[in-house]
Amino acid sequence: MRCLECGARLERIDNEHLLQCSGLTVQEYALRHHLPLDLILHPDQLDVVPDPAAWPSGPGRPVSEPARAVLSGLGLAGRLGREGDFTVVHGEVRRLDLLLWTQARLEACGLRFMQTYHYRPDGHRVEARNTLRVPARLCDPFPLRLPDDPERFLDAVAVFLAFAGEWHADYLFLPTRDGTLGRALAHRLAETFGIRLEDLGPGWLAEGVLLRTQSPDHTWRLLNLLDRRLEELPGVLEQFAPEGPEATITKVFEFDSAHFITDHPGRCVNLHGGRYALHVRVTDRIQPATGFVMDYGELKALVKRRVIDRLDHQNLNYVTSGLAWRSSTELLATWIWEQLIDYLPGLSELVIHETASSYCRYVGPDLETFRREGPSTLLGHFADPELGRSPWRARLREQGPALKVVGEG
Ligand SMILES: [Zn+2]
């Protein structure tokens, strides 16, 4: 075949040739020329098992503190694991240079870059994986811990941010599967540097915790604190800049609920049920590293956990006191907005269909306003402690037993 980069006739395209002629890996070459890997690769290039003998024999050196910082950042980001006898760091092709930067930092631990190719029978195609690996006998980073030294600690935060950080509407999100380590990191950032991260629970994650800067001010402070480190990390600063094209994504959910409307002159005063459709729209910058505003799967997991699981097959009037009086689409939208805005600062609109012909559009406060002003007073009437303390109630008390008398002569 002919190399589409240099025109040379070759028996096969491999990384040995491509790195010489263009600096690309096979996967990048395939993407640049929009070719399936299945066509480029020879079957014996698939499922190559790394040979531990390619690494030096004998025990490894203890992990140095700078390397430990990088490894704990990778662990927080969910990029570090064990595969058989190997310690493995998982990368991705869009940010290969970031993975290679990491390799340079971990060279003394023996981590080497590998791009391997695998036929996935369920996907019916060849996929590439980009990893750093080393036999675990040479480098065993577990159990992970945060470095004590403040400079090394910030190295770990920068690596965590580089691999896992997401920018959404001036807030930084840091998802981690290691909840214990994540909370320890948030604690250290607050105690030592005055930078506050909120613990949002699992959010859209299957496990672990989602951390988010408390306000845009804390976003800037964190980025400024890590400035020098982030500059050094290839492709990372573009991740955390407000500039760039925006898009709006929408995910539609359906749920079945019963409800009634108190003091309503029509039939809605009766308990009745229906199928609701909820449209959740998020307007935000398209993230350069993912090509997404937000992964639809993550949006689905979040809305399901925070909203749908609490409303589906329930009587809306008994879900929360805010809806007990009137579970109208308007108040329901207000309540749903408040369940989501902490996680979706780019939330731009909710639409709730009660029937095909009756629906409500709602735009609530942005996250900064919501944090400053708190939940809507529209939902708070019956939860207000002042209810029952008015002078009118006092009069009612004075009225005494008469209140109880109905129809007595
Ligand atoms: Zn070539």
Last residue of a domain, one of 240, 265, 295: 240
Specify whether 88 is located in the same domain as 193. Answer: no
Does 268 participate in catalysis according to the annotation?
yes
- How remote is the CA of residue 257 from the centroid of ligand 1, in Å? 62
pLDDT of residue 396: 81
3 catalytically annotated: no
Are both 39 and 126 inside the same structural domain? Answer: yes
Average pLDDT along the chain: 94
**H-state helical runs in 51-117:** 65-76, 96-105
Q: Which of the listed residues 240, 261, 293 is the one where a domain comes to its end? A: 240
Do 268 and 374 sit in the same domain of this protein? yes
Residue type, 60: G
Out of 201, 221, 240, pick the residue that ends a domain. Answer: 240
Print burial letters for 11-37: b (CB count within 10 Å at least 16), e (below 16).
eebebebbeebeebbbbbbbeeeeeeb
Specify whether 211 is located in the same domain as 334.
Answer: no
Tokens 């390799």 correspond to 103
Gap from CA of 234 to ligand 1 centroid (Å): 25
DSSP calls for 205-270: -SSSEEEEESSHHHHHHHHHHTHHHHHHSTTTGGGG-S-S-EEEEEEEEEEEEEE-BTT-SSGGGS
**Looking at residue 351, which CATH number applies to its domain?**
3.30.479.10
Residue 77 domain-assigned (yes or no): yes
Q: Which of the listed ranges 252-256, 387-391, 394-398 does the model predict with the highest average pLDDT?
A: 252-256
Ligand 1 mean position to 44 CA, how many Å? 20
Is there a domain that residue 324 lies in? Answer: yes
CA gap 50, 347 in Å, rounded = 45
Confidence (pLDDT) at 330: 97
Residues 217, 161 within the same domain: yes
Note whether residue 39 is domain-resident: yes
Q: Output the CA angle 163-164-167, nearest 5 degrees.
A: 115
Do 359 and 255 share a structural domain? yes
**pLDDT band, residue 395 (cuts 50/70/90):** confident
Q: Which CATH number covers residue 218?
A: 3.10.28.10
Contacts of 185 (CB under 8 A, 6+ apart): 76, 146, 156, 157, 160, 197, 211
Select which of 3, 268, 360, 368 is catalytic. Answer: 268
Instruction: Give the percent of the chain with pLDDT over 70.
Output: 98
Phi, psi at 315, each rounded to 5° = -85, 115
The predicted structure's pLDDT at residue 165: 96
pLDDT tens sequence across 329-361: 999 999 999 999 999 999 999 999 999 999 999
Host domain of residue 131: 15-55+62-135
Whether residue 402 lies inside any domain: the answer is: no
Q: What is the pLDDT of residues 240-272, one digit of tens each?
A: 887 889 999 999 999 999 999 999 999 999 999
pLDDT at 407: 62
354 in active site: yes
The total of structural domains in the chain comes to 3
Between CA 12 and CA 127 the distance in angstroms is 18
Q: What is the pLDDT of residue 144?
A: 92
What is residue 406's predicted lDDT score, i.e. its pLDDT? 58
Predicted TM-score of the model (pTM): 0.92
